Amino acid sequence: QSALTQPPSASGSPGQSVTISCTGTSSDVGGYNYVSWYQQHPGKAPKLMIYDVSKRPSGVPDRFSGSKSGNTASLTVSGLQAEDEADYYCSSYAGSNNYVFGTGTKVTVL
Amino acid sequence: EVQLVESGGGLVQPGESLRLSCAASGFSFSSYSMIWVRQVPGKGLEWVSYISGSGNTKYYADSVKGRFTISRDNAKNSLYLQMNSLRAEDTAVYYCTRRPNAEMDVWGKGTAVTVSS
């Protein structure tokens, strides 16, 4: 199973929006509505930010939103804040309880 | 408070074995399937293994199949990962995660495994 493709980096100024793409195949992203997104600060464990493509866990700000079209999922962070600076990983269910993660995107708040 | 705490990591030589443990608290452990995820320092995340709530169903990534064994003891609220025939490429931080549906909603802080001679 190949890793999902994400851009290595993305950036925006405080208050702006940034969108991260996550491209897979019809066997993972395109085949299931089970895309999730994780935020990871340096030295910390990942944190679930979005699941089932567009659902937010309790406690996650509504500045974070997710979507999917075909084999590509996207995470949008609106109203960027300094604490949003982190690495972001997408993940997709790939059948038979297998999962595949994205390559990761470093978001920088300028 | 829902919590997962991994332990058992360390430095081992290639070919040796190691057993990781994950202690769960704050939720009904047996009601959830669990997943191990690993991360090579400075690199991305990799799914390693899945186990159902009952422990009857298990899946492994191709990279560890035949070498790693996932198990759980619901009476002790604990998850395990037995790692045999370790290789340098198994060096990573190993995370224990809870899987309510298709997402990993709770993560431990991880335990570091280094395979080196």
Mean pLDDT of chain A: 96
User: With 80 as the cut, is the pLDDT of residue B32 above it?
Assistant: yes
Query: Cβ contacts (< 8 Å) between A52 and chain B: which residues?
Result: 101-103
The pLDDT tens digits for B52-102 are 999 999 999 999 999 999 999 999 999 999 999 999 999 999 999 999 999
User: With 90 as the cut, is the pLDDT of residue A39 above it?
Assistant: yes
B20-33 average pLDDT score: 97
User: With 80 as the cut, is the pLDDT of residue A1 above it?
Assistant: no
More confident residue, A53 or A1: A53
User: With 90 as the cut, is the pLDDT of residue B22 above it?
Assistant: yes
Query: Cβ contacts (< 8 Å) between A47 and chain B: which residues?
Result: 107
With CA atoms as reference, the chain B residue closest to A43 would be B109
Considering only A21-25, A30-34, A93-97, B20-24, which range has the smallest mean pLDDT?
A93-97
Nearest to B108 among A34, A45, A101 (CB): A45
A67 φ/ψ sector (left φ>0, alpha ψ -120 to 50, else beta): beta
Q: Which pLDDT score, from 0 to 100, does residue B96 have?
A: 98
Distance CA(B87)–CA(B9), nearest Å, equals: 14
Which amino acid makes up residue B84?
N
With CA atoms as reference, the chain A residue closest to B45 would be A101
Token readout for A27 is 């066997």
A101 and chain B in contact, CB less than 8 A: yes
Percent of chain A with pLDDT over 90: 95
Cβ within 8 Å, pair B103-A48 = yes
Nearest to B44 among A51, A99, A103 (CB): A103
Distance CA(A70)–CA(A26), nearest Å, equals: 8
Q: Which pLDDT score, from 0 to 100, does residue B6 have?
A: 98
For residue B83, CA distances in Å to A25, A32, B7, B22 come to: 31, 31, 13, 14
Q: Which pLDDT score, from 0 to 100, does residue A96 have?
A: 81
Q: Which pLDDT score, from 0 to 100, does residue A97 have?
A: 79
Distance CA(B49)–CA(B106), nearest Å, equals: 16
Dihedral sign, CA of A51, B22, B44, A86? positive
Distance CA(A102)–CA(A10), nearest Å, equals: 15
Pairing of strands A9-12, A105-109: parallel
Distance CA(A63)–CA(A47), nearest Å, equals: 15
